[in-house]
Amino acid sequence: MQDLCSIIYDPTFFVRTTKYDDQTRTFCTNLGGFVALENYQDFVCVNGHAYMDKKSDNTNFAFLSKVVLTDPVEDNQAYGESIGRLATLIGGGKPILQRYGDLTRGRRSTWNRVRNSYIEPTLKNVTCGDIAMALPERILTNLVDGLEQLNQVIPGVANDETLLYAPEIKFFATQIETDNNLETAVRGLFVAGDGPGVAGNIVSATATALIPSKEIMRRRGLAVPLAAKSGAPAAD
């Protein structure tokens, strides 16, 4: 992953699965990052982040299987939440941690096997278990198939020792209505990034912040800098 991340901080791969012809994708790659607990009202998920001055020996990223429900049930939000509740039930109120090799062999992981592995988990407030007990078969099949294909591009990502945390659920359906400057119906209140559904990864989330920033500067009568080549003066 270091070779890829040296080119772009958050490399994104889209993989079409073999059996179901669904889309899987990487999301939010963190070189030297940490897995973190994410609490919802009645279930828990995981997320990932990285510090500027503190690094782990691991790289983490989300691997997602896209779900788009159609007639008669179209509530993707409720479907995702139901998966989150089931996974939390199976994990005893904690996220589930499993070695990839245990998952593909149809057995749950144990702390003994995890401790004997060469990858140390950065989030340990978890339950070693079996992700297959928590995720729908179609999603699980997509994730395994997608990782095996991704392994051809990133050798080692589908290694037996790779640690999987579940669930990580992204509710992309959430989107706030804005104008072209990302200003909401409340004048002076701007939104940007992943939360309001404007962007889909770290790089684009950061980039979208430039849109309201320029508008705020314009309203305050400040000069808005334009992009320029390295070493060249910026024009106003």
Query: In sequence order, what DSSP letters do the residues of 82-117 get, joined into one string?
Result: HHHHHHHHHTTTS-EEEEHHHHHTT----HHHHHTS
Residue burial 147-158, b: 16+ Cβ < 10 Å; e: rest = bbbbeeebeebb
- Predicted local distance difference test score (pLDDT) of residue 164: 98
Looking at residue 34, its pLDDT comes to 97
Looking at residue 234, what is its pLDDT? 42
Which pLDDT score, from 0 to 100, does residue 87 have? 97
Are 224 and 218 contacting, i.e. CB atoms less than 8 angstroms apart?
A: yes
pLDDT at 196: 77
> What are the domain boundaries of the chain?
2-166, 174-223
pTM of the model as a whole: 0.79
- Tokens found for residue 46: 């995981």
Under DSSP, the state recorded for 194 is: T
Contact assessment for residue 126 and residue 96, using Cβ atoms and an 8 Å cutoff: yes
pLDDT of 227 over the 60 cut: no
The per-residue pLDDT for range 100-117, each reduced to its tens digit, is: 999 999 999 999 999 999
pLDDT tens digits for 70-97?
Answer: 888 888 889 999 999 999 999 999 999 9
pLDDT score recorded for residue 236: 39
Q: Shortest CA distance to 134 belongs to which of 100, 91, 177?
A: 91
For the chain, percent of residues with pLDDT exceeding 90:
71
The CA-based dihedral angle spanning residues 50, 7, 150, 168, taken in that order and rounded to the nearest 10 degrees? 20
Q: What's residue 73's pLDDT?
A: 80
